[in-house]
Amino acid sequence: MESLRDLGLSSYEDRAYRGLLSLGTGTAAAVAEESGVPKGRVYDALGGLESRGLVRVQTDREPKRYAPVEPAVAVDRLVETKRRELRQRIETYESGKSELIDRLADAETTDDEFWTAAVGADDSLDLLFERIDAAEESIVVVATDVSAQFDVDREGPELLDRLLGAIRSGVDVSVLLSPDVFDDARAAVDADRATLTIAQGPFELRITEDAYGNFYLIDGEEVCLEVADPLAPDRLFGMLDLRDRGFAARVRDGFEAAWADGTVVDDV
């Protein structure tokens, strides 16, 4: 910060305070002369400083005399005032957030067909987590293999936390894993956290050998599809996010067939 104006003072208030620091004490006329604040504005400037607790006023004599509080006290008081203002502003934003989301949702129109893509493991995870967080009704997770670029010990717990957040929001979550992925996930995820997740409703976990590939079906109409590197099938090339109801319906039908034959997991 270069001046008290960064903390909310006007230019005249800033100059008047600095003038008082130079004087030690002084009348309004002396402050105007020392600071260069016009005489017609100096009383407003001193009044503003007084209201902020930055000057003390001697009123038992005429003309009034003013004295500045110490700079450390002045800055602390201004910072605290700014902190309260920012806190109130954040509370206002938070209180109006839901209403704004509802208004934007009412105005939202979704094209029947839309797709986007991310390349590389990190960007693919960012895209996946974004779409999981956006789910409103249901999330289907199908995983039959793990890319060599995915650190299950790191990404597994984070994915689980995202799914838990969705569950707490009332989103139905169904997870279908191959036996190998289930074993990897069980080894990577804390047992207590996994047990808590399974105990949550609505959440179901099943194991199958009749599914292929890794994909995520969001709200029954959006598919996040992992794409393997054609030159190295065990490595992830990227993530496709397809919003296509026809394609999503085909994916859902295939999932439901494998899901019906899957083995239910009640505990870990």
pLDDT, tens digit, 9 for 90 and up, residues 68-97? 999 999 999 999 999 999 999 999 899 888
* pLDDT over threshold 80, residue 43: yes
* pLDDT over threshold 70, residue 159: yes
User: What per-residue confidence (pLDDT) applies to 190?
Assistant: 61
User: What per-residue confidence (pLDDT) applies to 88?
Assistant: 92
- Beta partners for 172? 138
User: What per-residue confidence (pLDDT) applies to 195?
Assistant: 62
Q: Residue 64: CB partners within 8 Å, gap ≥ 6?
A: 27, 28, 57, 58
Which helix (DSSP H) or strand (DSSP E) does residue 57 occupy? strand 55-58
Residue type, 254: G
Nearest to 121 by CA among 257, 253, 250, 235: 235
Please give the Cα distance from 212 to 173 (Å, whole number).
Answer: 19
- 9, two tokens: 């003072």
- Cβ-in-10-Å burial (0-12, 13-18, 19+) of 222 comes to buried
* pLDDT over threshold 70, residue 233: no
Pairing assessment for the beta strands 65-68 and 113-119 based on DSSP bridges: unpaired
Top-tier CATH class for 4-73: mainly alpha
Q: Is the pTM of this model over 0.75?
A: no
Angle between helices 191-199 and 179-188 (to 10 degrees): 120
* pLDDT over threshold 80, residue 134: yes
- Beta partners for 118? 239
Domain ranges in the chain with CATH number 3.30.870.10: 114-264
User: What per-residue confidence (pLDDT) applies to 149?
Assistant: 44
Please give the Cα distance from 165 to 157 (Å, whole number).
Answer: 12
Nearest to 225 by CA among 155, 160, 128: 128
Q: How many CA within 13 A on the CB side of residue 224?
A: 25
User: What per-residue confidence (pLDDT) applies to 10?
Assistant: 93
Phi and psi at residue 131, in whole multiples of 5°?
Answer: -75, -35
Domain ranges in the chain with CATH number 1.10.10.10: 4-73
Q: Does domain 114-264 have CATH number 3.30.870.10?
A: yes
SS3 per-residue string spanning 177-208: ECHHHHHHHHHHCCHHHHHHHHHCCCEEEEEC
Q: How many CA within 13 A on the CB side of residue 183?
A: 4
Q: How confident is residue 235, by pLDDT bands cut at 50, 70 and 90?
A: confident
Please give the Cα distance from 230 to 208 (Å, whole number).
Answer: 25
